[in-house]
Amino acid sequence: AISSAGGISFDELDDHFMLRKLPGTFAAGEMLDWEAPTGGYLLQASFATGAAAGKGALKWLNL
Ligand SMILES: Cc1cc2nc3c(=O)[nH]c(=O)nc-3n(C[C@H](O)[C@H](O)[C@H](O)COP(=O)(O)OP(=O)(O)OC[C@H]3O[C@@H](n4cnc5c(N)ncnc54)[C@H](O)[C@@H]3O)c2cc1C
């Protein structure tokens, strides 16, 4: 979906994009509560947070 207001607050995530209240569940991209400018940055942010969350999941699984 195109960027919209709302989503998961950054306060609810640890440094690896894992939900503090639901360990083992990770969030990225439009799941997050961001207010981004248009013009390409949403895809960049989706890729970046997706990569970070993926690394977080590997760390969580000790892989
Ligand atoms: C018309 C339009 C133009 C845009 N143009 C740009 C642009 O030029 N530059 C830019 O940076 N950004 C643009 N954006 C925004 C950008 O596309 C989004 O911010 C980005 O794609 C979000 O990625 P995401 O992975 O978070 O979410 P999504 O791309 O929405 O991916 C979510 C995925 O989850 C799947 N899904 C949903 N529910 C379930 C379920 N229950 N089980 C399994 N899978 C499920 C969906 O099918 C989908 O594949 C545009 C958006 C739109 C709508």
What pLDDT shows up at residue 43? 87
Within a domain: residue 41? yes
Q: Is the CB of 30 under 6 A from ligand 1?
A: yes
Structural domain span for residue 35: 10-60
- Residue ranges of the chain with per-residue pLDDT less than 70: 1-4, 36-40
Q: Convert the pLDDT of each residue in 6-19 to its tens digit.
A: 889 999 999 999 99
What is residue 61's DSSP assignment? T
> Which residue among 25, 31, 46 has the greatest number of ligand 1 atoms within 8 angstroms of its CB, and so is best to mutate?
46
User: Does some domain include residue 4?
Assistant: no
**Beta bridge mates, 13:** 19
Q: Is residue 15 part of a domain?
A: yes
* 3 within a domain of the structure (yes/no): no
Query: What does the pLDDT read at residue 16?
Result: 97
Asked if residue 24 is part of any domain, the answer here is yes
- Going from the C-alpha of 45 to that of each of 4, 6, 23, 27, the distances in angstroms are 14, 16, 23, 12
The overall average pLDDT reported for the chain is 89
Q: Which of 3, 17, 25, 30 to mutate to test the pocket of ligand 1 (most atoms within 8 A of CB)?
A: 30
Please state the domain count of the chain.
1
pLDDT of residue 41: 82
46 CB within 6 A, ligand 1? yes
The single residue listed with the structure tokens 């195109």 is 2
